[in-house]
Structure 1
Amino acid sequence: MKPFRDLPIQRKMLLMTLLICGAVLFVAVAALFTFQVLNFRSNFRRDTATLAAIIANNSTAAMAFKDAKAGAEVMGSLEAKPNMVAACLVAPDGALFASFGQAQDARAMKEFPPAGESIFTDGHLLYTQAVELDNKKLGMLYLRVDYYQTFLKLLGLYGLVILGVMIVSAGLALFLSGRLQRTITDPILTLARTAQKVGEQKDYSLRVDTKSRGDELGRLTESFNEMLGRIQAQDQALKESQERFEVAIAGVNDGIWDWNLKTNEVFFSPQWKRIIGYADEEIENKFSSFESLLHPDDLAPTLAVLKDYLELRGNTYSVEFRMREKDGGYRWILARGAALRDANRIPYRMAGSHTDINGRKQAEFEVHAAREKFEALVNSIDGIVWECAADTIDFRFVSRQCERILGFTPEQWLASPTFWQDHLHPDDAARAIQTCKECIARREPYSYEYRMIAAGGRVVAIRESGDVLEHDGQAELVRGIFQDITKQKQAEAELARLNSELMTVSRQAGMAEVATGVLHNVGNVLNSVSVSATLVGDRLRQSKVTNLCRATTMLREQNGHLVDFLTTDPKGKLLPDYLGAVADQLAHEQTELIAEMNSVGENIEHIKSIVAMQQNYAKVCGVLETLTLTDLVEDALRMNSAAFERHRVAVVRYYDPATPQVCVDRHKVLQVLINLMRNAKHAMDAQHAEEKRLELHVRLKSPDTVVIAVRDNGIGIAPENLTRIFGHGFTTKTDGHGFGLHSGANAAKEMGGSLSAQSEGSGHGAVFTLELPVGTKAVGADGNGKTAAN
C-alpha cells in the first residue's frame, strides 16, 4: 500500500475531502448530540419537577389531615412512571409519612438537595419538593428517578441515527467529490495560501473570501477569518500595551525592574540604569549586577528584606539602600515591589521600581543636622525652653536645661501631666496658675515671675515668658522659656539693701551734693583769683620800672652837667621822650593792676557769699519747708554761675508768677537742680559759645502739680537711652559714675513727684522735667515727714 503522500492528488484530495467532511460532520453531529443530551437532561429535570409539583399538590390534603392512607394512594399513582425508583413523603418532624418504591435509608436521604432543587448522581435524578398549603409547610416530597436507563435508550437511538447519517454522508461525499473537487479544493488551497502568507508576513489583517458559502468550508473559512480577527485584535492590544509600557518606562523618573524567579531572568529599564549614571548597555540584566552595585553596608540588610518578603515574613517589599554610581559615588534608592504567587503561595515573578531619593535623604540629613543644632542651641539657652497645650497646660516639650536649673530630667517632667503645678512654691501656686490662665486667655505675649521647688527642696525664682499660638481662632499651644532669676533676685535684694544704705548715707551727709556744687563753684572762683594773681605777677615782672632806674642812674652820672647832657649829648636828647613813654607805660600798668585787684576782691566776696549760702542750707537739711521754687532755681543757678560764665552759656528764664509755693525738702530739690544744670552744661560743651543756651521753666501744670524744666541745646539723648538714663550706673560720660540722675529720680519720687526726660534725638538737645506736688504729699528725708517754716 502506497504511503499517503505518494497517492495521486485526486485520491489524496478525495481522502482529504472525506476526512475533512467526516471531521466537520463529526463536529457538527457531536455538537448536535451534546445539545440533545443537554436538552434531554433539561427536559427530564423539568418533567420530574412538574411531576413532583403534582404529587405534592395532591398530597396536601392527606398531609394536612394526616391521612397516611390517602398519602399512600397518591404515592401509588407513581406506578405509571416506570423510571420512578423511589418516592417518599416526610412530615416536618422527619417522620416518614408515605413512600413508593425502594426504601430510602438515612444515608440516601442525605443525598437529596434542598427544596426546589435537583441533582444527578449515580444515574439517578434526585428532586426535593416542599408540600405547602396556604404558604404553610406540611412536609417534604423526595423523588428518585432512574435517569441512566432512559439516557441509554436515547443514546442508542442517537447512535443509530448518527451511524446512518455518517454512512449516507460518506456515500454522498464519494459521489460528489469528483464533481465538486474544485469547489472543495479551491477554498482549502486559498485557506492554506492565506495561512502561509500570514505565517510568513505576520500580517493578521488578511482575510479569506467566503463567497457567501454556507457549508462547512464556509463556516471553517469564517472561523479562520474570525480567528485572524481575534489574533489581530490581540496583537494590536499587545502592541499598544507594549507601547504604553515603553512610554511609561521612558516617561517616569523611576526605574522599572522585572524578575522571573523561575528562570532567574531579570529586566532593568534604561531609567533604572540612568539613575546611577549608566547607559542601557553598560549593565547586564542579571541579578548579580544589582548585588554588585549595592553599598557593602546595605547588601545584607537589603537581601534580608527581600528574602523575608518572598518567604511571607513581610507584608510588603520596600527598602532603602545605596547604589554605586558610575563616577564611584553612592546614591540613595527606594526599592518597592510586589510578587505574583501561585496557588501554593510560591512566588514565581516579581516586579517593582527604583526611586531616586538622594535629594530626600540629603534633606533628611540636613533636617537631622538642623534638629541636632536646634536642640544644641535650645539646650545652650540659659533657661528652660518649653511647649504646652493651651487648654490643659500639659507640657509636651521641655529642654535639657531643666536638669541643671531644677534638678529634674525632661523625661521626669513629661511623665507627669501636672509636674509644673506640683512643683510650684506653695505661696505662689494659686497666683501663678491663675496668672498663666489669664495670659493664655488674652492670647498675647506675657511675662511674670514666681518660685518653684527644685530637687532637694531648693527654691528657685523663675521668670516665665511665653506666647500663645492659635489655630482656627482657638488657642492651641503655648511656647516660652523659664529663666532662673534666683541670682538676679538675690542681686536685686542686695542692690536694694545697698541702695537703702547709700540713700541713708546720702541723707546723713545732708548737703553732700550741694557741698560738691559749692566746692565746684568755689574752686572755679579760686581759679579766677589764681589767674588774676598770676597776671599781676607777670605784669610786675614785665614792668618798665627797671628801665626807669637805668635812666635815673644815667642822670645821676652827669653830676652838674645835666643841662649840657640833655641838650648836646645824643642819648641825653632822647632821654626826656623816653621818660615820658615810660611814665605812660607805668600809668597803664597801674590801671590794669588796679582792675585785676578789684576782680580779686570781687571773687573773694563771691566765695564768702557761696560759703554763707552753704552754711544757710546746711542748717535746714532733712526737713520739709514751704518754699518759692524760683528762689531754689536761682540758688542752684548761682552755684553753677562761674561755670556758665566761663563757658559762655546764655541762661534764659521763663518763670510763671502764678506759680504757688510748695512744701518740699530744700536739700533734695537743690540736689536735683544742681545735677540737671551741671549735666546741661556738659551736654553743651561741644557747641559754639554763641550757641549755648540754657532755658529754665517754672510753671503750674495743674492745681496740684508744679513743674521745673531745664532745657538745653546740647548733644541730645539717643532714643534707646531715654529709658535707661535713670538706671543705676548708666552714664555716657567717660568720667561719669551713673548715680546723679538715678538718685535725682529717687529723690523726686520720695517727695511725691517725678523726674522725666525728653529728646528728639542726638544733636537736638534735651529737656528734663521735675514735677512736684503743691501740697504736703512728700515724705521727708528722715522718713517722718517733718516740716519747718520758711
Structure 2
Amino acid sequence: MENFEDLQKKIEDLNREIGLYKEVINQLPIGIQLFDKDGTSCYTNPKQTEFLKSQNPSALSEQYNILKDPHTFRQKIIPVADENSNSSCVFTITEDITELIEAKRRLKQCEENYQNFVTHSPDILYKFSNKKGSLFWSHQVKEILGYDPAQLKSDPFIWKNSIHPDDIQRVKEEVENYEKGGIYSVEYRIKSNSGKWIWLHDQFMYKSVIDDEIVIEGHASDITKRKELEIELEEAKQRFELAMQSTKDGLWDWNLLSNEIYLSPNWKSMLGYKDEELENSFEVWQKLVHPMDKEETNKTLREHLEGKKDRFDIEFRMKHKNGNWIDILSRGNCYFDSKGKPYRLIGTHIDISQRKHLKKALADSELRWKFAIEGNKDGLWDWDIKTNRVFFSTQWKKMLGFSEHEIGNTLEEWDKRVHPDDKERTYEDIAKHIKGETEYYKNEHRVICKNGTYKWILDRGIIIERDVDGQPVRMIGTHTDITERKKHEKYLFELNRFKDKVFSIITHDLRSPFNAILGLNEIVINRIETEDYNAAKEITEAIYKTTQQTLGLLDNLLYWSRMQTGKFYFKPSPLELNNISKSAIEYLKLNLTGKKISIKCFIPDNFMVVADRIMLETILRNLLQNAIKFSYQESTIELHASRKDKTVEISVIDYGIGINKGKIEKLFDVSEEFTSLGTNQEKGTGLGLVVCKEFIEKHNGKIWVESEVQKGTKFTFTIAE
C-alpha cells in the first residue's frame, strides 16, 4: 500500500483533476470523500459509500450512521489549500480497521487461554530461578504430591530431598546434560507428603536468561499408573516371545520412556546375524536402514507416535550381513497412557525381498505402457543413466517431425537437438534431481524439429531406480509440446507492456493539457476584466482545442480499455459513409481552421458501408486528426473510398512531413514508446492508431501505411462487406 504522504499528494492532484481520475479513485480500497470550503459534500467514492449506511452526508457537520454490522473505522481529514494558502476544500480518508481490532481481541483471548491452561492442566507446572529459587508451582502439586505451592516456594529443598535415592543420580545427569545444551526429560520417583512413592515424568519446557539470572519453566506428569502397566506388559511380552519363536518373523519391542529396545533372535537372523552379534538398541536399526528410506520411515514412525496414523506400517530396505539389501515389511502399534502419551511401541519384521523383486519386475514391464497410454500426445523417454542409452517413443519422435527409424537410442540424439541457449539450464535441472535436491525433474526448453523450426517442450521426469549406493540408475519422463502456450505467454507479456504504456499516458499525457487549461482560464479571466475580448476569444479557442484533443485521448483510452475487457459491443449497421466522414470533419473543424487546412472528399454519393457507427467514426477521426497534425499550413487532406474484392477500401491522404520507413512498423505498437511532434509541435501518444487497428480488425479488415518523407502519407484500411 502506498504511504500516506504519497496518497495525500495524489488526493491534492485529484482535487484538480477529479473528472479524469474518478475511475481510478473508485477502485481504491479506502473511503474518500470531498467537501468544499463550506463543508458541503462534493464527491464520495464507492468504498466510502459502502462504509456508510445511509446516503452520503452533504456536509462535514452532519452526522451519519455506520454499517449495521459492527465495524471500526479510522478517519483522517486533509485540508487542501489553493495557491494563496486559503482553504479550498477538504478530503476525508476512511479506513476500516475492524480486522486490527479483532486481532487485538484474539491476542487477549490467547493470553486468557494460556491462563486457563495453567489452571486446568493435569500436570504440575513450575518455574524457578537460579537467583530467586522457586517462583511458581501450580495447584496440581497439592493434588499429586500433597504439598502446598507456598510450602515449596518457601523451602526449595523439599522437592530435591524427596527424590528416590535410586533415581537422584539419573536426575542429576539429566540436569548436567541440559546445562550442556541437551534436553531435560527424565522419569523418577518422588515421595509425596503422605509418604507414598509417585512416578513423575519431568521436562523443562522453556528457558530464559536475563543478565546472570536463569529462569526455567517445566512440567511434571504423574505416570504412576503407566509404570504399573509396564510390569503387566513385561509379562505379556514373555508370553508373546514364546509365540514368536515358532515363526520366522522378527519381533521388536521399544520402551519409549527408557529408550530400551528388544530385538528378537529371528529379527537378527533375518539380517544374517547371531543374537550376540547385534546389541539391542535403536541405533542398530538406524544404522542398518537404507539411507534413502530412513527419512520416510522416521516420518511414518513419528506420525504414529503423534497419533496421526493408527498404526506403524511401512516397507524399507535393511543391510544384510553379506552386504546385500533386503526388503522389510515392518508393522507395529504404540501404547499410550491415560494422558495420551506414547510409552511403548511393539511390532514385527517380515522379509518381503522375494515379493518385492517380483513386483518390481512386473512394474518395470508395465511402466512404459502406463506412460505411453497416460501420456496421450506426449512423447515418452526412458534413460539408462549408466549406459546413456535412451528409449524414445514413437510419439516423441513424431512430435519433432521424425519417423521411427530416423532417431537412434542414445542421449546424444536429444542433446544435439536442444537449443544452445537452453542446454546449460536444462542440465542444471537434471543434476539437481539426480542429487536429490528436487522431487522430480522439470524444465522448459526448445528442441529443433526436422524442418529446422524450434518447438517449446515441457520436459518432466523422475528417477525410478537407484543402486545399492543410492546412485541413480534409471530415469523416465515425458515431452509435452507447449509451443502454443508459449505464444500465449508472449501475447500476455506484450499486453502487459501495452497496459503499462496506457497508464503512463494517463499519469503524464493527460496532466499537461489540464494544467494548460487551468493556466489559460486564468488568462481569459484577466483579459475579460481588462475588456480585451479578442485576446480572450483566441485563448478560449485554444482552451476548446486543448479540451477537444484531451477528450479524444480519453475516448481512445476508454475504447481500448473496453475492447480489452470485452465490454465494447460490436453493433454493425448500414451507414452512409459521407455522413460519418462529415461528422468526423465537423469534430475537427477548429483543428483544420487553426492550420488553414482543407479536406477534399472523394467519396461517392450514397456510399453505404456496414459497420459499427462509433468505431467507424473513431477510425476516421483519429486518421484525420493524425493527418492534420503532420500537415503543413494551408495544405490539403484527401479522403477516398472504393469497393474492391468484396471489401470497402478507405484512404486518408496528407501531403505533410511523411514518415521514415524504419518507423512505420512501430506506428501500431504503442508499447514502442514511439511518438513524433506535428508541424506545429503538436504532441501525441500513438494510442489513436492502435485503437484504429483494433477497430478495423473487429470489422475483419486491415490497415497499412504508404509514406515518403517530405511528400506525405497515405493511411488505407478495409472493411469486409
Same fold (TM over 0.5): no
Q: Which has a greater percent of strand?
A: 2
TM-score when scaled to structure 1? 0.27
TM-score when scaled to structure 2? 0.29
